[in-house]
Chain A
Amino acid sequence: MKAHGQKLLALAALGLTLVTTPVPTWAGWAFSPGVTISPNQVGGSYARGSLVGTRYSADAVQYIGCTTTATSTRTECYAKNTAGAYLYCSSTNGAIYDTVQAMTDSSSIQIQVDGSGTCTSVNIYHGSERLR
């Protein structure tokens, strides 16, 4: 009888603990795609993906990102998809350099590359649905 009472009390305490432990609500529209690399229409290729979708993907392969060098306004972008396909480009275009400055932890990036490995455009998108 006493053992039963103790079990009941323990279960009640456990239940209370679970109920009072807040769980984050992850509602709202969420869209965080991983990295896609495809050929484009000018003999090059493009990569696109969100930083959140890539970073928290199921695999440990894909990534996407850009680096900028202030001394030469040089931009380099890199991407790899789940299958291991790789994209790299570089540019000293001022507009591309300027665009990359807008990147945040939750941006989406689209990188266009021509056949010679030069970045021809970079798009940065900030949207609420890209947040983790």
Chain B
Amino acid sequence: MKTSLHKLIATTALGLALCSQSAPARAGLQFRPEVSVYSNYARGSMAGARYSADGTQYIGCNFYSPVVSCGATDKTGKSLSCKAYGLHWATAIKSITDFSHILFTVAADGTTCSSLDVDNFSQHLK
């Protein structure tokens, strides 16, 4: 009787111990916006796009000094891209990391980038 009770307690304790060994709590401010594409600008976070529920959206930039091109597609398939030339763009491109938030705007000609903002904040981390 006692042995059975011990086994029961041990099994329960093991179960509870395993339950409490789950992944560390991921607290802290989190903000990983998915990709939004508008008529003349697009924005989104790398992590928000990569780990979204759909398999469509992305945002990113290509660098071939001094040429920069950026592109984005939202979850509905709406796309926007632009290209820019000039060494000053390199500084922004070099600050893109795995968890950046990217915002690029497109000039009236529809093909030239008019601005590129790269934000690296803790809340954008996965």
Contact = CB atoms under 8 A, between A and B. Distances in A.
B57 to A, nearest CB: 6
Contacts, number: 129
Given A13-B11, A20-B19, A21-B23, A126 B51 contact: no
The residue in A5, A16, A102 that gathers the most chain B C-beta atoms within 10 A of its C-beta is A102
A123 B62 contact: yes
Contacts of A128: 35, 44-50, 57-60
Interface residues of A, number: 39
Given A17-B19, A104-B98, A29 B7 contact: no
A117 B15 CA distance: 61
Interface string A78-111: 0000000000000000011011011011100000
Given A13-B19, A27-B51, 17 more contacts: A2-B4, A6-B4, A14-B18, A16-B19, A17-B15, A17-B19, A22-B22, A28-B49, A29-B54, A98-B65, A99-B64, A106-B98, A125-B60, A125-B62, A127-B46, A127-B61, A131-B51
